[in-house]
Chain A
Amino acid sequence: MLKFIVKRLFAMIPVVLAVTFVVFTIMWFVPGDPTNIILGNEWTEAASARVKAELGLDRSFLVQFFHYTANLVQGDFGISYITRAPVGEQLLARFPNTLEVVLGAMLFCVVVGVPIGVYSGVKPYSVFSNLTMVAGLLGISFPIFWLGLLLILLFSVHLGWLPSSGLEDGFASFILPCLALGGNYMANIMRITRSSMLEVIRQDYIRTAKAKGVKAVDVVIKHALQNSMMPTITVIGMDIGTLLGGVVLTETVFSIPGTGRLLLESINKRDTPTVIGCLVIMAVCIAISNLIVDIVYAYVDPRIKAQYGAGKD
């Protein structure tokens, strides 16, 4: 197992490098002279040339890319054009907020969405099941940013229960952003869990288990659940990308100082190194979450586990 994890970790490196290359290439096309942004009013021909030489901006595209990657491997994301501070520091300050919102949303969705999906899959013709189906359909159609605005209107403006922006109020200030971000995600998890549960619950071995007198709860938890979890895990993992994309919107709606907002601010200020940094860190997150999903697969599905075990035993 450890061998597998290490192998997968190494396989991540080319992917992250390739993403960095794509992002770097796209950002290469940002129009205008970066020294205008860096120097502002102090811009002169000579100063511009000096700064260019200092930052290596006068070199060719490939040299710059290799330079950037070499620094990146050492954890150096370059220097921001605007603040002149290392991009890494900014990311370090902002990223935990993003991570908390994303993980909070994920946790909430999994803890609430999976049981609802399982229950409505086990009892497919109940009123509750139909209600969750409708809720799921509505849920996947809600735009994150609109859901966020509606939640603010209801819970902050009308009821006054929860803060509408910032993170100053600790736990309470995370509730609305997590709900808004997780809306689609939870609906998706619910729908997938329900449909795969529906498929599994009709199988012969479930009937066998019931026939030999296993308690209804145990049939679901011990027999059905494990076999119906694969699609759910896939969705949980695949949609992390969507969550990270959605973070840009959630952070805008709720004014959370996270990576998403940093990304937007730096796009507007044409602060290319920070933009690249934000995108790379998000891509790394997605790559890591894919890795975790693969590992969880192996734990849930003995067939996959057997593939890795084969060489060892």
Chain B
Amino acid sequence: MDETIAKYTTRKGFFKQYKKKSRLQEIWTRFLRNKLAVVGLVIFVFIVLVAIFAPLIAGYDTEAIRINVPNRLHSPSAAHIFGTDELGRDIMARIVHGARISLVVGCAAIAFALFVGGALGAIAGYLGGKIDDVIMRCMDVFLCLPDVLLALAIVAAFGTNLVNLTIAIGLAFTPKFSRLVRSAVMTVRGIEYVEAARAIGATNTHIITHHVLINCFGPIMVQVTLYVANAILTISALSFIGLGIQAPIPEWGNMLASGRVYMRDYAYIVIAPGMAIFMTILSLNLLGDGLRDALDPRLK
């Protein structure tokens, strides 16, 4: 009752009822309404937690790496939920530790691509003219090669260590981000508040970072989610064909590659690692789709 009275009698109470939800809150509420997206988020958070707490779930040296021949090719049981592989290593332990590699390399590669591609795209889109032409034509050339092939060529030339792999995948995704950021910047560029900022004497760098990029954040985040999925897929694809993470380091793709030989008699050996890749990609795709819908004002 007091509240109702306060609503009409005090200035603070009067304005409280009209208080707008912040934009982030609004997006979050809309995101939560999308059940599939929430499922995606839950799965992804679960995978991240598994990766973070991997050493607590299974020992790296003892279970994921050490060869234990008497234990080889045991079917799934209480002791080994997903069974053991051809060298007697626990498949679950390897998947859990593989999650670390996939997530770290995937995110690092996309961060690299976002930083380099985003900077190039922002410059091209904001400045336009000749600089735009030069940057974008160069990017188009890289877009002519599929990202798996480009990453494959880079790894083939520079060698397959973790850093090279991350850079190779990052470079393969750079043109996509430059295109994305460029088009986002170009739509924002013409809007009045950018003009206003320029009128009060803001520098180009300031305008790009403080006004333009902030307002492109939404669509870029959606693509980041989807591209992390692609990057993780690329890592496991490269590992599967032997040009990514090398044995004995556990990685989902190289687990599938080594398990392939035994799969006719021991199908479970390829089921669990594939499932891990599949669930990760699926969760990120669901998350990305959900984010896109939540950010789309037309779907309010």
Contact = CB atoms under 8 A, between A and B. Distances in A.
A283 B264 CA distance: 36
A149 B156 contact: no
Nearest to A251: B241
Interface string B110-123: 00000000000000
25 contacts: A15-B141, A18-B141, A18-B144, A22-B141, A22-B145, A26-B154, A27-B157, A28-B157, A31-B159, A137-B36, A138-B282, A142-B281, A145-B237, A153-B263, A153-B270, A157-B263, A241-B144, A248-B241, A249-B148, A249-B241, A275-B153, A275-B156, A282-B145, A283-B145, A286-B144
Secondary structure at the A interface, as helix, strand, loop or mixed, is helix
Contact of B233 (A22, A143, A241): A143
Nearest to B277: A143
A23 B256 contact: no
A30 interface: yes
Contact of B274 (A30, A146, A248, A267): A146
B278 A141 contact: yes
Given A18-B144, A150-B270, 19 more contacts: A15-B144, A22-B142, A27-B153, A27-B157, A30-B156, A145-B240, A146-B256, A146-B270, A146-B278, A149-B260, A153-B264, A153-B267, A244-B146, A245-B149, A249-B241, A263-B149, A267-B243, A275-B156, A283-B145
Given A149-B274, A267-B156, A275-B153, A137 B146 contact: no
**B interface residue count range (under 10 / 10 to 19 / 20 to 34 / 35 or more):** 35 or more
Contacts of A144: 237
B286 interface: yes
A268 B237 CA distance: 16
Interface string B237-279: 1001111000000000100100010011001001000100110
Contacts of B240: 145, 249, 252
A279 B148 CA distance: 11
B242 A268 contact: yes
